[in-house]
Amino acid sequence: MVKTRIALFIGACLLAGQAAAATPALVGNPQAGQAKTVVCGACHGADGNSLAPTFPKLAGQHEKYLLKQLHDVKSGARVIAVMAGQLDALTEQDLADIAAYFASQTSTPGSAKEELVALGESIYRAGIRERGIAACAACHSPSGKGNGPAKFPMLSGQHAEYLASSLRAWRSEERKNDGDTRIMRDVAAHLTDKELDAVASYASGLH
């Protein structure tokens, strides 16, 4: 059962990449997007490098991933209270331009807590086989750079506090916009608080 769960997880990663590659995308304009991100900058920083650890860095994130999240927030598939209604008046081109702008920026580096590195690295790189937890690196890459075509986000440099809160939201199913694959919900469901915090810290420090 455990091996089957891990195999299905990895298979879902591969299928997501194939499906994403086959879907044509609207072309975003980074220059146009900059002018449309003034409101975004209040929480995420003018260049996408948020100073508050509770708000995610968007700088350097994969464009397709950003666009998917914007679509999900606008449609209600992903509920973020502070963003309620903010995207309602934006067109598809507006969203594409915003995603293109933030993707074109350079993310600032993160850091990992030394006391959490060993546990975090073990989970990130190897998972926990006996509990059916697949390695984070399978979808997010060994360096934490993610997988753009598959819409798997870059974790490297992201605020550890934000990553941990996201994992908790996946675990409680407060967040569930990973679709029918349930990739993130199934992984987070089997992580303890200590493991969750450790892997979030480790991923933040990757570069």
pLDDT digits (tens, 9 = 90+) for 6-63: 554 555 565 555 444 444 567 999 999 999 999 999 999 999 999 999 999 999 999 9
Average pLDDT, the chain: 92
**Spatial CA neighbour of 103 closest among 17, 29, 184:** 29
**Domain range list for the chain:** 2-20+109-205, 24-104
Q: What pLDDT shows up at residue 25?
A: 61
- Tens of pLDDT, residue by residue over 80-96, are 999 999 999 999 999 99
Average pLDDT, stretch 146-168? Answer: 98
Asked if the model's pLDDT at residue 134 lies above 60, the reply is yes
Q: What pLDDT shows up at residue 26?
A: 78
Q: Percent of the chain having pLDDT more than 90?
A: 87
Helix, strand, or coil here: 83?
Answer: helix
**Considering the domain 2-20+109-205, what is its CATH architecture?**
Orthogonal Bundle (1.10)
Q: Rounded to an integer, what distance in angstroms lies between the CA atom of residue 85 and that of residue 111? A: 33
**Spatial CA neighbour of 3 closest among 11, 168, 152:** 11
Please tell me if the domain spanning 2-20+109-205 has the same topology as the one spanning 24-104: yes
Bridge-partner residues for 197, per DSSP?
A: none
Q: Rounded to an integer, what distance in angstroms lies between the CA atom of residue 147 and that of residue 88? A: 28
Q: What pLDDT shows up at residue 23?
A: 47
CATH topology of domain 24-104: Cytochrome Bc1 Complex; Chain D, domain 2 (1.10.760)
Q: What pLDDT shows up at residue 183?
A: 95
Average pLDDT, stretch 168-177? Answer: 98
Asked if the model's pLDDT at residue 188 lies above 50, the reply is yes
Asked if the model's pLDDT at residue 2 lies above 80, the reply is no
